[in-house]
Amino acid sequence: MSALRPWVGDAMPCRYHPTGGTSSVPLCRRGAWGLVPPYDVRRIGGPHPSRNAGALLGHRPLVHQLGKALAELTPEEQGGLSLAALTALDGDSPTGSLRWPGSAQPLFDNSQEMAWLTARRTRLVRTLRRLRHTLFHAPYHLGTPRGSFVPRVVTCLDVVRWVLHDETLPGRWAYPRLLHLAEALRFHSATRVMTISQHTADDIMRLLGVPASKIDVTLLGVDLERYRVPEPGSSNAALTRYDLHEQSYFIYVGAADSRKNVDVMIRAFAQAKLTDHELVIADKLRSSDERAYGAAMDAAGQPKNVRFLGFVADDDLPALWAASLGMVFCSTYEGFGSTPLEAMACGCPVIHTGLTSMGETIGDAGVKVPARDVAATADAIRQLATDDTLQRQLRTAGPQCTARFTWKNTALATVASYQRALG
């Protein structure tokens, strides 16, 4: 039998793709398999993209790093599959290298998500019919193309829209039922469903009735080449750039969605009464983030030692994480939780709730606090600021914990799921 040529790509004509290509999602046909290339995240949100600039950005590591990792597998590790990338929604040459870096101009901007999803559902169907591959992988499950008659593997990142629909889409009384139907159909009609944590697998089994026999838990990786403990003295330039001093601050990197509980974080830091320390918040803020942080600051009495850094380049984050006393991460729902794991890989202690996927990914390698418990979180902050032994233990435990989250492991698990889908 001829080798299968897989296509790796997230079949999305991305607004975030400079060429309007799709993202890492595998397509497969006897003799061919396809995957879509990664988004050019530099185009998201302008020249300084937020790490939380919408669902597709959250999807960025899966698209970019998975394509790269699949390309680096040996022929034996690829299991006889021949991998390629789906780099456009349509056209004469919609496929390309798994290492495709993205195109120069996006077809859709950040305000055109519905147009992007519609294009994915329609134009991509025609392309899949024409290419006639035997398998298609959609690493981002929204906008799933149906009617192509190509079996598909779908990655479920989380079901936060369904779990927290009262918060994500308030006032839409009919939406939960419609959303439940759409989500159930999306995953039940897939040949295989990959989830990025056991918690997400449990969610779609419990909430959507997806059978366990159809699910493959495929943990994401951490970019351990970028996120690692910096060499001594290498962090000085980044610290100077943001006017920070080693071991004088706690840090949070991320958005202010309700599930992130930034109000608890800020109140806990104020309650810890560490007058010689700062809480620094790093990310380009959306208008919704600004409102949430404003309300949190008001509720905490406008503490003076909370500082907003704005956009911080990914290349600077390892230095800022490693030089901090710890990252305060009060989230109560994560499909995987890449950001705290990236911080831990840099030797940064992490305070977390241990809920949802964080129990299986971070576990005891961080300091666990009860959800939305301001007093307990304040105690954990004070402990990290004063207990040198705990600091040393966590700075060692973090890199040890994250060492297992390699993109090669993700790629191998992905290939295994493809093989199950192909029978």
Domains of the chain: residue spans and CATH? 7-221+406-422 (3.40.50), 236-402 (3.40.50.2000)
Sheet strands side by side (includes 135-138) = 95-96, 84-86, 7-8, 32-34, 27-29, 135-138, 152-156, 192-195, 215-217
Q: Is residue 16's pLDDT more than 90?
A: no
**pLDDT greater than 60 at residue 56:** no
DSSP of 6-31: -EE-B----SSSTT---BS--EEETT
pLDDT tops 50 at residue 12: no
User: What are 215-233's pLDDT values in tens digits?
Assistant: 999 999 999 999 999 999 9
Segment 306-345, tens digit of pLDDT: 999 999 999 999 999 999 999 999 999 999 999 999 999 9
Banded model confidence at residue 382, pLDDT cuts 50, 70, 90: very high
Query: How large is the average pLDDT for residues 97-110?
Result: 74
Tokens read off for 36: 């879509």
Whether the pLDDT of residue 167 is over 80: the answer is no
Q: Compare 253 and 117 and report the one with higher pLDDT.
A: 253
pLDDT digits 0-9 by tens, 273-312: 999 999 999 999 999 999 999 999 999 999 999 999 999 9
Please name the residue that has the structure tokens 């790796």: 8
Tokens standing for 275? 């007058």
pLDDT of residue 3: 32
Across 57-75, average pLDDT: 79
Model confidence over 234-280: pLDDT tens digits? 999 999 999 999 999 999 999 999 999 999 999 999 999 999 999 99
Contact 77, 412 (CB under 8 A): yes
- In this predicted structure, the answer to whether residue 8 has a pLDDT above a threshold of 50 is no
Alpha-carbon distance 99 to 91, whole Å?
Answer: 20
What is the structure's pLDDT at 49?
42
**0.85 exceeded by pTM:** yes
The per-residue pLDDT of the chain, averaged, comes to 84
Q: Please list the residues that pair with 252 across neighbouring strands.
A: 281
For residue 140, the model assigns a pLDDT of 82
Higher model confidence: residue 2 or residue 107? 107
pLDDT band per the 50, 70, 90 thresholds, residue 57 = very low
Q: What percent of the chain has pLDDT over 90?
A: 61
Q: Which residue has the higher pLDDT, 14 or 298?
A: 298
Among candidates 415, 414, 419, 423, which has minimal Cα distance to 194? 414
**Greatest CA separation for the chain:** 70
pLDDT of residue 52: 43
- CA-CA distances (angstroms) from residue 338 to 51, 259, 406, 409? 11, 15, 12, 15
- Hey, is 38 helix, strand or coil? coil
User: Could you tell me what percent of the chain has a pLDDT over 70?
Assistant: 82
36 confidence band (pLDDT: 50, 70, 90): very low
Determine the pLDDT at residue 277: 98
Identify the pLDDT of residue 53: 37
- Is 70 exceeded by the pLDDT of residue 29? no
State the pLDDT confidence band at 144, using cuts at 50, 70 and 90.
Answer: confident
Residue 315 CB coordination number (10 Å) = 9
How high is the pLDDT of residue 117?
83
